[in-house]
Structure 1
């Protein structure tokens, strides 16, 4: 490998949310990576920082072209320039869109278990989360389309927030599944907001399917929130994009983004994004290979040492989803116990809504040595828990 992902920069004492833990604790929870960013990104940020004025920034032509080129090259998806809108983040985009496209008391449909912050964006705006649990059978997930249509048919259902790929289960939705979601949402006059922030963190040789790339129906009734922040480990830069082919829908979303003051880039947002999209493909591909090796280690360790725990086979994200239901369904109690007794900090699955009970989420975007340490701590926690 060109890049050394075993050598991690020290993060304690750097104001890191993830690493603001006790000295003996190993944080494997929040979704950011411990790897040093790609050198072109750091170079772009340092070059911009060398200029002694940090005033308001504008969105340059190269930002649009970087996204257009990236999606054409990696996904064979042609994005038009006027479809692209800057936003300070995927979560601000979601919260702003909930405010604009729904009214207090409306329902926002979710396929669960799903990223927990979706619930915040919905409930903080006095809307209701309509949960549609995914089918879970033989350690695999699928969409219960009759149940989804039942939720969409409610007169209060106005918006579906899709997670594509799905966090925390790590599933890439197929073209057929995305087409059926679009068909049902058009039938019931429900808009689709597809959160695709994990889209580039996929298994080597595997690509996710952008919701809008599937057909004209999806372009008509949907839009996508995308960002370089997850795949290139620059969440603190606060930069993202929205793809909105539908002109009328785009006008509504843009108006609310400006009302909410989340449509203007900071001084590092544009150069960092361009450097990621244009110049950091090799880093991204090597990172995916390294994360997949970490996953393979966990799969093997659990199979050999903790066969009652099952890590769901995944195609995307660096967040492993571990079924612990044969030990306990109370994932919150076990995760708290494991942290107290061993220092291993994982996220309880019930954080992610219906269907998450009896699971743990583990972030393996760290060194293999940390992953091995986490596995040993998990084994120790189980032995203590059974006593």
Structure 2
């Protein structure tokens, strides 16, 4: 392997939300916040270092051609989708930039946005903080798997003032890669009801089990006004703090509406972050292949360990990314007690209830760390599992 994913990097004291905040300065092992503990690719480090060594950080002039070409190349090589340069716009992050600007461009206060819990918690926060209304189309959970409730979805899309279906594609935290048939059905229902689809594709580079990933860009017709896509290399290459993302909008009128919002608020771009994005997409395909191999190894190890040593926990192999969605109902603990159970083990995980009101028995666990740290965390959880007496039951 070119990149050493086993390298232990001490992030304590680096102003890391994951380690200094969630992990309380290393007091706890943080397996919640969804960034990786891996260095970015060496090519990205060199590109950013070159900019830093140049030493002048005046106002930048956005490198449109290099930026657009990098994204076009990435989608072409990795997703077999041909994107026009004119369809791409920069965004200062996904939640803090793209989604917020989509809501401003395409909705009015009081309008409704349908989400599909359990789903990324920030969706609802951004919607409601922007004076829009989040409407739940809860996913059906059966035998360890989640499915879309299309009957309920159709009812929700017919509601007055529903303007958007916000889809997590692939889905976080449940680890689902939506099948093309499911996506077409969502798309058709939205077209029938004149509802826009916003597809968050930030986890699309990390697909497991040889499953195909399909973007909504493959389904929508040319210049269709019912689909927009947002994406970023931040999850794949661990570049979240650069807040450099992008949107893909085929419809010219909607593209202009988005760009007008960007201009209205006089947003600028992240000088170093855009260079990191361009370099990652142009030169670091190998990193993604190696990252996915390492993540699959960690997922295999985690699931085997849980099945063997923590049998009251239920977990399915995720279709995507580096997040395990673990059903803890077998422990018989309340949400507060469940949080205490993991904290007592010296590990922080994400509370499932933040992703949907019916997910309080679940936790989300991030396994994108070194194998050594992952083993330590699981062993600590097992010690507490045995201490609680679950081993005897």
1:34 alignment partner, one of 37, 40, 47: 37
CA distance in 1, matches of 2:82, 2:29: 42
Please state how far the C-alpha of 1:246 moved relative to its aligned partner: 0.8
Please state how far the C-alpha of 1:331 moved relative to its aligned partner: 3.4
Secondary structure of 1:371's counterpart equals helix
CA distance in 2, matches of 1:309, 1:191: 38
CA distance in 1, matches of 2:119, 2:332: 21
2:296 alignment partner, one of 271, 281, 292: 292
CA distance in 1, matches of 2:222, 2:359: 31
Q: Paired residue for 2:9?
A: 9
1:46 alignment partner, one of 22, 44, 49: 49
Q: Does 1:374 align with 2:377?
A: yes
TM-score after normalising by structure 1: 0.95
> Structure 1 101/330 Cα, relative in aligned 2: closer, same or farther at 3 Å?
farther
Alignment of 1:159-174 (within 5 A): 159-174=164-179
Paired residues of 1:308 and 1:327 also in contact (CA < 8 A)? yes
Describe the superposition over 1:132-179 as per-residue Cα deviations: whole angstroms up to 9, x where unpaired: 111111111111111111111101211111100100011111111111
Secondary structure of 1:285's counterpart equals helix
User: What are structure 2's unaligned runs of at least 5 residues?
Assistant: none
Paired residues of 1:325 and 1:358 also in contact (CA < 8 A)? yes
CA distance in 1, matches of 2:122, 2:270: 23
Which deviates further from its counterpart, 181-190 or 251-260?
A: 251-260
> Structure 1 254/157 Cα, relative in aligned 2: closer, same or farther at 3 Å?
same
Q: Paired residue for 1:318?
A: 322
Paired residues of 2:112 and 2:135 also in contact (CA < 8 A)? yes
CA distance in 2, matches of 1:282, 1:206: 19
CA distance in 1, matches of 2:162, 2:387: 46
Please state how far the C-alpha of 1:206 moved relative to its aligned partner: 3.7
1:107 alignment partner, one of 112, 116, 128: 112
Q: Paired residue for 2:256?
A: 251
Please state how far the C-alpha of 1:59 moved relative to its aligned partner: 2.4
Please state how far the C-alpha of 1:212 moved relative to its aligned partner: 1.1
Q: Paired residue for 2:243?
A: 238
Q: Does 1:153 align with 2:158?
A: yes
Please state how far the C-alpha of 1:329 moved relative to its aligned partner: 6.0
Paired residues of 1:162 and 1:192 also in contact (CA < 8 A)? yes
Please state how far the C-alpha of 1:377 moved relative to its aligned partner: 2.0
CA distance in 2, matches of 1:77, 1:69: 9
1:353 alignment partner, one of 356, 371, 380: 356
Which deviates further from its counterpart, 284-293 or 214-223?
A: 214-223
Please state how far the C-alpha of 1:89 moved relative to its aligned partner: 0.6
Q: Does 1:55 align with 2:70?
A: no
CA distance in 2, matches of 1:257, 1:311: 42
Secondary structure of 1:133's counterpart equals coil
User: What are structure 1's unaligned runs of at least 5 residues?
Assistant: none
Aligned length: 385
Q: Does 1:274 align with 2:275?
A: no
CA distance in 2, matches of 1:333, 1:103: 41
Secondary structure of 1:265's counterpart equals coil
